[in-house]
Amino acid sequence: MRLQDKVAIVTGAASGMGKAIAELYAKEGAKVVVSDYNFEGAQAVAEGIKAAGGEAIANRTNVAELGDLENLFAETKAAFGKLDILVNNAGIMDGMEPVGEISDEKWDRVFAVNTTGVMRAMRIATNIFLEQGHGVIVNNISAGGLRGARAGAAYTASKHAVTGLTKNTAYMYANSGIRCNGIAPGGVETNIGASMTGISQFGMGRQQTGSGTMPRVGKPEEIAQLALFLGSDESSFVNGQVIAADAGWTAY
Ligand SMILES: NC(=O)c1ccc[n+]([C@@H]2O[C@H](COP(=O)([O-])OP(=O)(O)OC[C@H]3O[C@@H](n4cnc5c(N)ncnc54)[C@H](O)[C@@H]3O)[C@@H](O)[C@H]2O)c1
């Protein structure tokens, strides 16, 4: 029970890594707010947690909408009275487009979800944490937030921005009881491929030249273990780090 009595929000928790993180957090004693814009999916995950003896509620949140985020935090406080851990996990892919092919519309959509939504959730959470005197943020970033061509220009830039946001936040609030770290997963078996539209053949070809160096594809549960460590007090001395979980892919 490494998260006994903690309250956690996990965004994008209807599927993939967010679902695995929500389930593991609940198993470890946390009260979990299962947030996703796929509300039926979020409800199913919350029901599964409760059936297994855990505590969870579902929340319909489009992280690209400020009003939805405000409602998410208000409902969390109303249900559980506090917030200890925010896991920013919701994210979408681009279509592997290099900068010469990216449309303004795609760029804006990817940044709204992957970057601005994360910043806004961090802003609201940080102000709750400052009032409480403690809190932890875990951002699910990507190997694409550390390396140049794991995806297209928009996804890569959106995730690099979150790497910077993670480090800045960690340092700014290092003396205020707040920690902020990131995870950089390599390829993981999830449904994220469904968010890819208008794929660039050129960009895909360039991106794939490095795919052969990926030792293997990971399971969402393997990323959840790192999210558990970073969300728990066991990582009390870890702050401002983006830790790769990729079987050694970024080591090449
Ligand atoms: N799968 C990979 O190989 C991989 C690798 C590195 C990083 N990531 C990152 O991991 C995170 C989780 O992705 P996943 O692979 O588990 O994908 P997934 O598609 O299985 O899950 C993502 C979830 O986020 C939700 N979501 C998407 N847009 C949203 C929005 N605007 N508001 C609220 N919810 C939204 C989806 O409904 C879905 O339930 C993402 O940030 C992704 O960029 C994925």
Average pLDDT over residues 240-251: 98
- Confidence class of residue 140 from pLDDT cuts 50, 70 and 90? very high
- Confidence class of residue 72 from pLDDT cuts 50, 70 and 90? very high
Q: 37, 155, 171, 252: which one is catalytic?
A: 155
**Cα 184 to ligand 1 centroid, rounded to whole Å:** 13
**Domain annotation covers residue 88:** yes
CATH number at residue 69: 3.40.50.720
Which of 24, 192, 249 most suits a substitution to test ligand 1, by most atoms within 8 Å of the C-beta?
Answer: 192
- Confidence class of residue 186 from pLDDT cuts 50, 70 and 90? very high
Q: How many structural domains is the chain composed of?
A: 1
**Domain annotation covers residue 125:** yes
Using the atom order of ligand 1, give the atom closest to the CA of residue 90: 24
Angle (CA) 238 242 244, round 5° = 115
- Round the average pLDDT of the chain to a whole number and report it: 98
pLDDT over 90 percentage in the chain: 100
Tell me what pLDDT residue 166 has: 99
Which residue's CA lies nearest to atom 43 of ligand 1?
91
- Concerning whether 155 is annotated as a catalytic residue, the answer is yes
**Domain annotation covers residue 166:** yes
Which residue's CA lies nearest to atom 1 of ligand 1?
188
**Domain annotation covers residue 233:** yes
Reading phi first (left if > 0) and then psi (alpha if -120 to 50, else beta), residue 198 is in left
**Domain annotation covers residue 1:** no
**Domain annotation covers residue 130:** yes
**Domain annotation covers residue 2:** no
Average pLDDT over residues 103-118: 98
Tell me what pLDDT residue 155 has: 98
- Are 87 and 162 within 8 A, CB to CB? no
- Are 198 and 95 within 8 A, CB to CB? yes
Domain that holds residue 115: 7-251
- Are 16 and 31 within 8 A, CB to CB? no
